[in-house]
Structure 1
C-alpha cells in the first residue's frame, strides 16, 4: 500500500517540486496540499495522511504551531523542511520539540537544479517515516529544564585500570558473541535470553533486572532519524556526577549540531557541547560530533578526541562506525555503546569491532524507535547485548560505574 502524503508549503514552487519528486515513486501517493498551517491542520484531520511534509515559515499559522495542533488533534508523522542556517536549525529543533519526526534541508539551489540526490533522500525519508506508525503523543524534546549544573570538571584519566570483577556470571546476562547460525538466529537468541517469545521481530526487551550494566571508561551513543528527541530523553536521565565521558554521534548538518548541543546543555544535568579537535574526555561531559566531520579518539592520547573532515567516500558524516571502531581499539571491554533510532545501518560494522574487543552494546527497541533501522541492523547481526525501550536507557546508563 502506498504511503499517503499531505504536502504543506506556502510557496507554489516548493509545493510543485515536492509533488513532482514524490509522485515519481509508486510507493507514494499525494492525497492533498495546503498553503498554510491552518489549512494543514484541517486537512490532516480530514485526510488522515500517513505523513505530512511541512514548511516552517507560513502565513496564518506557522509550521511549528501547526505541528503542535496536529499532534493534539490528529497525530501524524511530520517531516519538516528547513533552511540550513543557524536560525533554521533553531526553528527546526523547536519543530522536533513540537512533535515533528524528522527534517530535511530546504536548499533552493538543489531544488531548482532538481537534484537527484535530494529527490532520492526525500523519497526514502517519506517512505520510511510514512510506514512508521510510532508517534510521540506527548513531545518531550526540550522540555522541563533541570536544576542548575554543579561543577563536575575533574579530568578523565585514560590510564586508570579496573580491579572490579563482575558480580554476575557473564553468561547469565549477555548474549553469546558467537556468529549467529541459521539454527540460532539473532532473534531466537535474544528471545531465549529473555524468556520472551517474540521471534517474529527480535525486538522484545530484556527484563531490566537481567541486564548487566558494565563498569565503563567511556559511553558512546549514536542516532539518526528521531535521534534528537531520543538523545534528549536519554541524556536528561543522567546525573550531573555521571562518572564517564560520553561521545554523541547524531546524523545532522553542521549548522545544526552546535545549536543542538547548546539546547541539550540547557536541558541536561550533565554538560553537553559540540566537540572540537583536541577536546579532553571528562566525566559528565558529552561531546557531540560536528556535522560533516568524523569523531575519533587520538591514537596517542586516548583521553582526547580527534575531529577530522568527513571523507567524501563515507555515506554518513559523522559516522557511528568510525567512532565505534575508534573507541573499541582504545578501550575494548570498557566501552558502553548504545545504538538509537535511525534509518540505515550506520554503526553495525563498528559494533562488530566493538564486540570483538569485548565492549557492551545496547540497542533501542523497535516499538520505541521512530525508524528501526540502525538498531535493527545491530540486533539482526547478533551484536546486541540487550534491547531496551527508550524510557529505560537513560536510567540504566545512570547505573554505570567508572572502571
Structure 2
C-alpha cells in the first residue's frame, strides 16, 4: 500500500526537494503539489491524500490558515515545514496548537547533508503519523465492536399502577416539598473562589496573580539566579513529551494553579529557537510563569521551565541548597537533545524531594527507562497519558510496559490528579 501525499510550498525549488525526499521511500507517493494554502485546500478536497506537508509562510493563504480549515473540514495528518525566522517560529507553535501532527525545520537549500538529514526526519514523522492514524482507526473499530456486544434488546414492560400496592394513608398523604437547592454554584479558579458568574476566560499575563517574592537588596546578578522564599519547596513535577507535546502541555499547564507548591521542569523534543517561542506561547495560557530554561536558573515555586532545544537540561543542587538548571552540550540521548532521560536521571539524588513524573504523547521511548529507575528508587507518583488522548502512544506506552506507572490517565485528568496529590 502507498500513502498519497500533497506537498505545499510557494518555492518551486523547495517543492521539488521535498517531493524527491518523500519519494525515496516506496511507502509514499506525491500525488500533487500546491503553491499556497488556497491551492492546497482544493487539492486536498479533490485528491483526498493520506497526509500533507505544509509550508508555514506563503502568499494569499498561509499554512496556518489552510491547516485550520483542513482540521475543521477533513482532518488528516499535516506536517508543517518551518523557517527559523521570528514569524515562522511563532506560526509553527500556533500550527501545532491547531492540530498539526508535527513539524520539521526547512532544509538549507545549499547544504546537501542538511537536506538528507531533514529528509530522514520528515519520513520518520510521516511514518509515525500514518501508524498513529491506523491505530486510532483500529481502536475505534474495537470500541464499536465491544459496544455492540453489550447492547441487549429492550424488553417491553407493562405499565404498573404503583399506588395499587401502597396503603391508602400513604397514597393520600401530601408529598413533602423540599426547598430547592441553590444552583448558583461558585466557580473555583486557579487562585481561589470568584463570583457566581461562570466564565471561560483564560488567565493572561495581565491578569495572572503571581506569587509575591521576598524583598531583597538590588541584585548584582539576574533575579532568577538568586534564591528567595519561592526557591524553597518539597515538590517537583517533571514532564517529558514529543510529538503532540505542545498541545498536551497547553492542556496541562493551563489547568495548573499559579500557587503550585513546587516548580515544573519540562523536556519537549524541539530544535533550537522553537522552545523559546513555545515557552512564550504557553505563558499566555498558564497561571504559572512559563520560561525557557537558562543555565544557572534557580528553580522557584509557581514557575515552569522548558528545556532549550540543542541542550541537555539537568537539575542540580547548589552549595546553598537551591535547585538549579544545568545546561550541557553533551551527546544526544535516545537520539534527542534535550532528552527526557537525561532530565529524569538528574533527579535521582534528590530523595528529600517529592518528585512527580509525567510522560505525555510522543514517538519512541525517551524517558521510560529513567522513569523505571526513579520508580525503583522510591518515586511512586508516576503518570502516563493514556492511548485514547495521545497523538502518538510511544513514550507513555514504553513506561507502561516497564510497569513503572501508577496513573494511566487521559490527558485532561492528569493535571487534576497532580493537583489532588500535591494537596
So what's the TM-score if we normalise by structure 2?
Answer: 0.75
Q: Deviations over 1:365-392 (max 9, x none)?
A: 1121111111111112222112111111
Matches within 5 A, 1:212-231: 217-231=235-249
Match of 2:289 among 258, 271, 287: 271
Distance 1:110 1:231, change over 3 A: farther
**1:387 matched to 2:408:** yes
User: What is the aligned partner in structure 2 of residue 79 from structure 1?
Assistant: 79
**1:145 matched to 2:202:** yes
User: What is the aligned partner in structure 2 of residue 157 from structure 1?
Assistant: 232
Distance 1:306 1:110, change over 3 A: farther
Aligned-partner Cα distance in 1 for 2:82–2:47? 24
Offset of residue 93 of structure 1:
1.1
Match of 1:304 among 301, 317, 323: 323
User: What is the aligned partner in structure 2 of residue 245 from structure 1?
Assistant: 263
Q: Deviations over 1:271-316 (max 9, x none)?
A: 1111112222222211111111111121445632233223235321
Unaligned 5+ runs, structure 2: 138-199, 214-228
Aligned-partner Cα distance in 2 for 1:332–1:388? 27
Contact 2:254 2:285 in 1 (8 A): yes
Contact 1:294 1:308 in 2 (8 A): yes
Aligned-partner Cα distance in 2 for 1:305–1:333? 14
Aligned-partner Cα distance in 2 for 1:332–1:7? 52
What secondary structure, in the 3-state scheme, does the structure 1 residue paired with 2:92 have? helix
User: What is the aligned partner in structure 1 of residue 195 from structure 2?
Assistant: none
Contact 1:333 1:358 in 2 (8 A): no
Higher relative contact order (CA 8 A, sep 6+): 1
User: What is the aligned partner in structure 1 of residue 15 from structure 2?
Assistant: 15
What secondary structure, in the 3-state scheme, does the structure 1 residue paired with 2:243 have? coil
User: What is the aligned partner in structure 2 of residue 181 from structure 1?
Assistant: none
Aligned-partner Cα distance in 2 for 1:282–1:397? 18
**1:343 matched to 2:363:** yes
**RMSD over equivalenced CA pairs, Å:** 2.2
User: What is the aligned partner in structure 2 of residue 202 from structure 1?
Assistant: none
Contact 1:4 1:130 in 2 (8 A): no
What secondary structure, in the 3-state scheme, does the structure 1 residue paired with 2:414 have? helix
Unaligned 5+ runs, structure 1: 136-142, 161-216
**1:66 matched to 2:66:** yes
Aligned-partner Cα distance in 2 for 1:312–1:7? 33
Matches within 5 A, 1:163-202: none
Distance 1:114 1:357, change over 3 A: closer
Structure 1 stretches of at least 4 aligned residues deviating more than 6 Å after TM superposition: none
What secondary structure, in the 3-state scheme, does the structure 1 residue paired with 2:298 have? coil
Offset of residue 11 of structure 1:
1.4
Contact 2:314 2:326 in 1 (8 A): yes
Distance 1:99 1:144, change over 3 A: farther
Offset of residue 14 of structure 1:
1.3
Contact 2:313 2:328 in 1 (8 A): no
User: After alignment, is 85-94 or 296-305 more displaced?
Assistant: 296-305
Match of 1:292 among 310, 319, 325: 310
Q: Deviations over 1:43-88 (max 9, x none)?
A: 2222222211000122221111101111111111110000123332
Contact 1:227 1:340 in 2 (8 A): yes
Offset of residue 398 of structure 1:
2.0
Distance 1:330 1:114, change over 3 A: closer
Aligned-partner Cα distance in 2 for 1:357–1:113? 43
What secondary structure, in the 3-state scheme, does the structure 2 residue paired with 1:107 have? coil
User: What is the aligned partner in structure 2 of residue 56 from structure 1?
Assistant: 56
User: What is the aligned partner in structure 2 of residue 117 from structure 1?
Assistant: 117
What secondary structure, in the 3-state scheme, does the structure 2 residue paired with 1:331 have? coil
Distance 1:373 1:111, change over 3 A: farther
User: What is the aligned partner in structure 1 of residue 149 from structure 2?
Assistant: none
What secondary structure, in the 3-state scheme, does the structure 1 residue paired with 2:6 have? strand
Contact 1:310 1:318 in 2 (8 A): no
Name the count of aligned residue pairs.
338
User: What is the aligned partner in structure 1 of residue 373 from structure 2?
Assistant: 353
Distance 1:299 1:3, change over 3 A: farther
